[in-house]
Structure 1
Amino acid sequence: FNLFPADDVIRAISQIRSEYDDVKGVVTFHQQHTANSPCTIRANITGLSGEHGFAILDWGNMVSGCYSLGNTFNPDRVSHAPFEHALHRVGTLGNIIDGQYEDENNRYVTLYGRNSVIGRGIAVFENPDDGATKNTAASRFNGDVGAPIACGIIGRVGGEF
């Protein structure tokens, strides 16, 4: 019995929505099921302009909307750092710009194993992630992204998107 598709690619998807449906879209993930393979992440979200923080969060619990998803997924307990930094949190995705995001080579996010993001939350925030560059508690905590404005839960998908 093979748990993975014939092409050994694991796929996941999240539908992102705001409370009033004015921000909505889809985030897709795919990754070869081989050791150390990168994960490709793409997002197309309508209703956004400019830069907004974008992160994978601890929980897949939306009982209180986006606020019950927890903090940035951080299994290695590292400090907040810019997305480009070698030691950033697993869940730190940087910024989504004008509703578009593409990362074809993410070596932190995985769809299997200990750090799998399947079943976790994902959110777009009101402000850009400043990469902990300001000397404030909010910047050091999560890049001063502010409140989540749209979110969803990452779910495993069989077959094609």
Structure 2
Amino acid sequence: MAFALRKCIGPMRHRQIFVFTRNTLQNLSTMKADVNSKVASEDSKTPSGDAELVISNSCIKRLQEISEDGKAFLRITVEGGGCSGFQYKFDLDTKLKSDDLVFGEGNAKVVIDNLSLEYCSGATVDYHTELIRSGFRILANPQAEHGCSCGSSFSIKLD
């Protein structure tokens, strides 16, 4: 699967992140043995546009630790709720759904449905560790107008 590697500038200087776009999604049929023997074609999984998810090194590292066997992946869903109107939901899953898009490769896969991707296209998926908690989070979401202080809720930009 093709992917682009780019370096961030600004506060994340010196961190490398992988950018996986819809146009470089892995053909799901090659994942037959990895994910539930589910076969789908890239053509049915690649909507028009250049939507992308940026996956940080810390996210890739944590996903590789969690999914040593390569069967589990991180599922991101955007739902209504939270203090700002929408909230991110992160789950570990092993079963693909018909409208899922897969970003990543090897043991570091992130899965998101088409509708949720519309609300966080261009955002960064990160894994953050603090003294009081650690977990996956979405950073720098260009589709969000503002978010709450905990980072799990956001409101969308209205054009």
> What TM-score do you get using the length of structure 2 for normalisation?
0.28
Greater RCO (Cα-Cα under 8 Å, separation 6 or more): 1
More helix by share: 2
